[in-house]
Amino acid sequence: MKKLLIVCICGLMTGSVFAQEGSLSAGDLKAAPATATPIAEDALVLKEEVYDFGKIPQGKPVTHIFEVTNKGKAEIKISNVQASCGCTTPEWEKDKAIAPGESTNITVGYNAAAEGNFTKLVTISYGENINKQITIKGEVWKTPASSAPVNAALSDLKN
């Protein structure tokens, strides 16, 4: 009895599998979504990958605009632009799809708070886990505590 029950259940399961396969029509196959054109790694081209601010004064934020162009055959949407630290702030058009041949800008700001040389990386993410890096660098010089140097001879003057 158990064997007969198991054979019947197996038969029903096999029949339902074949019934599911046979339920697709030719119209259903045509309606299947087409796969998107893959984005090539070299589709997003940077006009420059490194920018040197040179010597900048401490406490004065600076910015630079990086131009990126879509040299591929499909639209590209930049999904994220991530700086390596909090002193660097990237800005870009988050919802913009860059058409083939079109360009857009990424503005990178740097808060020159610490004295000395700096090199900061900014990672651009697009497509299916494709990344490119841009670099900003320069040297921050310490600004004087007052607007004019102290005149030691001032105390020598007599009224």
In a domain, 49, yes or no: yes
In a domain, 95, yes or no: yes
- Name the domain count of the chain: 1
Question: Within 10 Å of residue 112's Cβ, how many Cβ atoms?
Answer: 20
pLDDT in tens, the chain (159 residues): 555 445 546 555 555 544 444 444 444 444 444 445 678 888 999 999 999 999 999 999 999 999 999 999 999 999 999 999 999 999 999 999 999 999 999 999 999 888 999 999 999 999 888 999 999 999 999 877 666 666 666 666 665
Question: Within 10 Å of residue 124's Cβ, how many Cβ atoms?
Answer: 21
Give the domain extent around 114. Answer: 44-141
In a domain, 121, yes or no: yes
In a domain, 52, yes or no: yes
Is residue 102 a contact partner of residue 70, using CB atoms and an 8 Å limit? yes
In a domain, 38, yes or no: no
Lookup: tokens for 155: 């105390």
Count the alpha carbons within 13 Å of 15 in the hemisphere toward its beta carbon: 6
In a domain, 17, yes or no: no
In a domain, 100, yes or no: yes
Q: What's this model's pTM, rounded to 2 decimal places?
A: 0.67
Domain CATH for 58: 2.60.40.10
Alpha helices in 23-155 (DSSP H): 26-30
In a domain, 29, yes or no: no
Instruction: Give the chain's length.
Output: 159
